[in-house]
Amino acid sequence: MPGLLYLFSMTSRDTTRFLDRARHVLSIEATAIENIAQRLDAPFSEACALMLACTGRIVVTGMGKSGHVARKIAATMSSTGSPALFLHPAEAAHGDLGMITPQDVVLALSYSGESDELLTILPSLKRIGVPLIAMTGNSKSTLAREAHVWLDSAVEQEACPLNLAPTASTTVALALGDALAVAMLEERDFSAEDFAHSHPGGSLGRRLLIRVSDVMRQGDDLPTVHLDTPLRDALMEISRKGLGMTAVMDQNNALAGIFTDGDLRRALDRGVDVHHTRVLEVMTPNPITIEAGKLAAEAVRIMEERRIGALLVTEGGKLAGALNMHDLLRARVV
């Protein structure tokens, strides 16, 4: 295993050399993005306006490394409220061009602006009558000249020491794509809930879609006692329901307080007699609550900030349920 042998033989000088090279690359790419940010002008806004007015889809295309970036830009736009797809320009010339309609907008990436595969489909795009946005590093390139809007993605140098491998240029193109997607997201008033509907799977979707009402305990599973309930009986209710607390209701069946295991510890420290003490005397009034319609992730935030293990849930000012951190863990919100 020569790779492992090399790893074990590395010296501090080797480590320093690798780190110096990495920092140099990141510095070049960071500078390239800063320069692009300073050069942004009206064409960027025009590109956003074209895509926002699009009643079809944003078709993002590019060849080689630009194609990889184009695919990611299309994915980002689709997940942030701007329906988009990636079209491979070589496949487009062999039938996939039929995916494009006059209602679409095409965003074409090519650093040189002279990619053969893109230039081949230019006449067809003209015939379809689709608006074309070009992202290139050369304003005089064929692609830039034929586009309705040209986005400048030029960089002073690549991070590659040979100044050949697309590095800084692809980073800039990717950042410009993100800038387009986020600018449109804000213009569309795209919300966290909208984002969640595009990401229903995984922890992100759970955090953004699951609401307190989906995980709270209610009905017979909700621990409740009344103000005059003996502390002994309140402890039995807590034990039966397994939430580590119980809601305390007044004579009108409105929420009056909460009694938790923390309240119990404080009561025992004072020498309270569990057989002759009413829960009214040891409960915490005005408990922290959350509305049933709130996101479950908000319940997590409240419990972490307040350092509590359970939370009462209300709906329309009335007690509707309760949950604890274990419920949120089971729902994989945490």
Task: Dump the DSSP string for 57-113.
Answer: -EEEEESTHHHHHHHHHHHHHHHTT--EEEE-HHHHTTTGGGG--TT-EEEEE-SSS
What is the pTM (predicted TM-score) of this model?
0.67
- In this predicted structure, the answer to whether residue 237 has a pLDDT above a threshold of 70 is yes
Q: Using 50, 70 and 90 to split pLDDT, how confident is the model at 21?
A: very high
pLDDT in tens, 24-77: 999 999 999 999 999 999 999 999 999 999 999 999 999 999 999 999 999 999
β-strands 58-62, 105-109: how paired? parallel
Number of structural domains the chain divides into: 2
Return the pLDDT at 130. Answer: 97
Core vs surface per residue 153-164: b (16+ CB within 10 A) or e: bebeebbeeeee
Q: Which residues partner with 227 through β-bridges?
A: none
Both tokens assigned to 96 = 């996939």
Scanning the structure block, which residue is given the tokens 């990495």?
22
On whether both 144 and 270 belong to a single domain, the answer is no
Return the pLDDT at 311. Answer: 94
- In this predicted structure, the answer to whether residue 334 has a pLDDT above a threshold of 80 is no
Q: Using 50, 70 and 90 to split pLDDT, how confident is the model at 202?
A: low
Q: What is the mean pLDDT of residues 125-138?
A: 96
Average pLDDT, the chain: 91
Return the pLDDT at 7. Answer: 56
Q: Using 50, 70 and 90 to split pLDDT, how confident is the model at 205?
A: low
Query: Are the CB atoms for 154 and 18 separated by under 8 Å?
Result: no
CATH number, domain at 230? 3.10.580.10
On whether both 108 and 178 belong to a single domain, the answer is yes
On whether both 30 and 146 belong to a single domain, the answer is yes
Q: How much of the chain, in percent, has pLDDT values that exceed 70?
A: 91
Of the ranges 198-207, 223-232, 300-309, which one carries the lowest mean pLDDT score?
198-207
Return the pLDDT at 198. Answer: 62
On whether both 245 and 127 belong to a single domain, the answer is no
Return the pLDDT at 1. Answer: 52
pLDDT in tens, 270-316: 999 888 899 999 999 999 999 999 988 899 999 999 999 899 999 98
88 is in an annotated binding site: yes
Q: Using 50, 70 and 90 to split pLDDT, how confident is the model at 210?
A: confident
Of the ranges 13-22, 136-145, 315-324, which one carries the lowest mean pLDDT score?
13-22
On whether both 22 and 145 belong to a single domain, the answer is yes
**Domain that residue 251 falls in:** 212-331
On whether both 145 and 228 belong to a single domain, the answer is no
Q: Tell me if 273 is assigned to some domain.
A: yes
On whether both 24 and 55 belong to a single domain, the answer is yes
Scanning the structure block, which residue is given the tokens 């042998």?
5
- In this predicted structure, the answer to whether residue 133 has a pLDDT above a threshold of 70 is yes
Return the pLDDT at 43. Answer: 97
What φ, ψ does residue 80 adopt, rounded to 5°? -120, 25
In single-letter form, the type of residue at position 135 comes to M
What φ, ψ does residue 87 adopt, rounded to 5°? -120, 120
Of the ranges 46-60, 103-117, 170-184, 200-214, which one carries the lowest mean pLDDT score?
200-214
On whether both 257 and 116 belong to a single domain, the answer is no
CA triplet 5, 7, 11: central angle to 5 degrees? 115
Q: Tell me if 207 is assigned to some domain.
A: no
- In this predicted structure, the answer to whether residue 203 has a pLDDT above a threshold of 60 is no
Q: Tell me if 83 is assigned to some domain.
A: yes
Return the pLDDT at 79. Answer: 86
On whether both 238 and 186 belong to a single domain, the answer is no
What would the DSSP string read from start to end of 213-255?
A: HHH-B-GGGS-EEETT-BHHHHHHHHHHHTSSEEEEE-TTS-E
Of the ranges 3-12, 160-169, 176-185, which one carries the lowest mean pLDDT score?
3-12
Residues with Cβ < 8 Å from 213, sequence gap 6 or more?
292, 293, 313, 315, 320, 321
Q: Tell me if 206 is assigned to some domain.
A: no
Nearest to 57 by CA among 87, 90, 32, 21: 87
Return the pLDDT at 15. Answer: 82
- In this predicted structure, the answer to whether residue 209 has a pLDDT above a threshold of 90 is no
On whether both 111 and 224 belong to a single domain, the answer is no
